[in-house]
Chains A and B, each alone.
Chain A
């Protein structure tokens, strides 16, 4: 069974600092997604990573995928308060012929950015 683990689960940062959230998964996959969730809200798609070595950047966030290491990272540069939210990675293994339409999520990382 696929396991997806994020760390850290809680991240308290000062504005202006850099940090990285890690997402490890247990089964071969080259389809990984990052989502953001604000309190009481739905999931907002941030990044779609579909191949080994994929790197995507949007503003202060950059995501990468290493399928050999089964690892994705979400790097935060010069954090600002607006980035405070919960971040989830999600892995899709349906390319193996099963698990259609199923995303397996990590536990989520609660990010708080302080002034």
Chain B
């Protein structure tokens, strides 16, 4: 069974640019969550999508956005990149049972470097 796939694995962007990251969940998983990991702030929740709807959002500026497609694949977009956006971006997929998420499985992550 294929795991969670994130593309690309590495990205280097310039300040002010925008970037789109992609996440394909495990087959059958309809929930996708996104996290940002930095040495200073640790792992922080960005947002979660289920059945193409954003159900939850973390405390990030509006420059961070996402969407989910009908096949459950998800993208996140960061506009007007800042140096502080350099991080490992992880997505996780899970089943939803009775409205609640089960165990989250993480992808390999996208390492974003903003220069």
Contacts and interface: CB of A to CB of B under 8 A. Distances in A.
Given A33-B103, A94-B101, A102-B56, A41 B50 contact: no
B58 A102 contact: yes
Nearest to B46: A102
Contacts of B42: 105, 107-108
A101 B43 CA distance: 14
Contact of A100 (B90, B92, B101, B106): B101
Interface in A97-111: 98-105, 107-108
Chain A interface bracket (under 10, 10 to 19, 20 to 34, 35 or more): 20 to 34
A113 B36 CA distance: 28
Interface of B: 31, 33, 35, 42-43, 45, 48-50, 55-56, 58, 90, 92, 94, 99-101, 103-109
Contacts of A41: 108
A98 B45 CA distance: 14
Give the dominant DSSP class at B's interface.
strand
19 contacts: A41-B108, A42-B107, A42-B108, A43-B106, A45-B103, A45-B104, A48-B103, A88-B43, A95-B100, A98-B56, A101-B33, A101-B50, A101-B56, A101-B94, A102-B33, A102-B56, A103-B45, A108-B42, A108-B43
A103 B100 CA distance: 12
